[in-house]
């Protein structure tokens, strides 16, 4: 099971059509568009496996070890039940401080969940990074007006992700590893 957090903003980078103006029209209100320096955003934790996606957790603040363990308890464990049933699995997470804290390691040991050893700064290896990008591309024309509408849009988009999409991403792991080895650790197409 692969997991990660990701930030979603109300503005997904679409800036609308470009406007060409004639000299002297630069400050004409007809040609101006307001912008937001710091758009509303939400931070989301999610998990996936080759069987599909688990439930999302919207994070309200920076994640410390205690909050991360609450996410694991209330979202990761139900996701594991949903995706694996009684089958064994290995959990994947990056090396964020809350993830790699001794208390988090103890939580995994206490719950009998093996954690995949993970190299630092390795987004090319994590298929959920691609899944977040797929979701953001599907949402690029959505126009939520506030954080609550953004959450609704994220949930709806996440629900449309198929197990087949997840399976293809998990199946890409051998190719990802080979590409990173060939690139000697440099960025890859993944």
Q: What is the pLDDT of residues 33-88, one digit of tens each?
A: 656 566 789 999 999 999 999 999 999 988 999 999 999 999 999 999 999 999 99
Give the whole-angstrom CA distance, residue 81 versus residue 84.
5
Q: In this structure, what CATH number is given to the domain that contains residue 94? A: 3.30.420.10
* pLDDT in the model for residue 180: 86
Residue 60 burial (CB < 10 Å; 0-12/13-18/19+)? exposed
Phi, psi of 80 (to 5 degrees): -60, -45
Length of the chain equals 190
Domain assignment present for residue 98? The answer is yes
Domain assignment present for residue 190? The answer is no
The tokens for 125 are 């290896």
* pLDDT in the model for residue 17: 55
Domain assignment present for residue 57? The answer is yes
Domain assignment present for residue 22? The answer is no
* pLDDT in the model for residue 164: 96
Looking at the structure of the chain, the number of domains it has is: 1
The tokens for 28 are 């004409």
């Amino acid at each position: 099971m692969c997991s990660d957090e990701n930030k979603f903003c109300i503005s997904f980078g679409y800036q609308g059509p470009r406007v060409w103006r004639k000299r002297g029209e630069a400050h004409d209100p007809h040609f101006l568009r307001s912008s937001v320096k710091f758009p509303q955003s939400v931070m989301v934790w999610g998990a996936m496996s080759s069987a599909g996606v688990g439930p999302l957790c919207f994070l309200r603040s920076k994640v410390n070890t205690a909050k991360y363990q609450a996410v694991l308890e209330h979202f990761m464990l139900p996701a594991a039940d949903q995706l694996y049933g009684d089958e064994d699995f290995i959990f994947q997470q990056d090396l964020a401080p809350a993830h790699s804290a001794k208390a988090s390691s103890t939580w995994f040991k206490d719950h009998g969940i093996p954690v995949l050893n993970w190299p630092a700064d390795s987004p090319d290896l994590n298929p959920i990074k691609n899944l977040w990008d797929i979701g953001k591309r599907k949402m690029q024309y959505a126009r939520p007006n506030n954080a609550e509408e953004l959450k609704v849009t994220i949930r709806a988009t996440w629900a449309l992700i198929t197990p087949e999409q997840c399976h293809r991403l998990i199946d890409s792991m051998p190719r990802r590893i080979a590409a990173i080895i060939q690139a000697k650790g440099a960025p890859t197409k993944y």
